[in-house]
Homo-oligomer: A and B are copies of this chain.
Amino acid sequence: MIVGKEKNVEPAEVNEKDIEGVSMKVVISSEDGAPNFVMRVFDIQPGGHTAYHTHAWEHEVYVLEGKGMVRQDKREYTLEKGSFVLVPPEEEHSFSNTGDGLFRFICVVPIVR
């Protein structure tokens, strides 16, 4: 069993174009022995956003704090604490902070082998 506190985890670099004010902590990964999926916590600063992109794997997201939005093409969905999002594989998406405070969410992805 692995037990930890998110506040003790160092943020990892997010190496991607077209992102602003985004940091990520990988809290549970294959390095801890996770066999199937990775749990990350994203912090987006006010005005910040992730890239509008697509990839072969899904996201399962749960909002911890703040106000935000997820966009897909012309559709925008408002997000707040307790919102959840399934982004299926190959679907374009971008998450944005639309509030005055930090926008925080958990994002779980499969381990890509």
Contacts and interface: CB of A to CB of B under 8 A. Distances in A.
Interface residues of A, number: 40
Given A7-B82, A37-B108, A108-B37, A60 B1 contact: no
Contact of A34 (B35, B39, B60, B82): B60
Interface string A68-79: 001010010101
A86 B34 contact: yes
Given A32-B86, A88-B1, A39 B27 contact: no
Interface in A1-25: 1-7
A91 interface: yes
B3 A39 contact: no
Given A60-B108, A64-B64, A91-B1, A6 B84 contact: yes
5 contacts: A3-B84, A5-B80, A37-B60, A37-B108, A39-B84
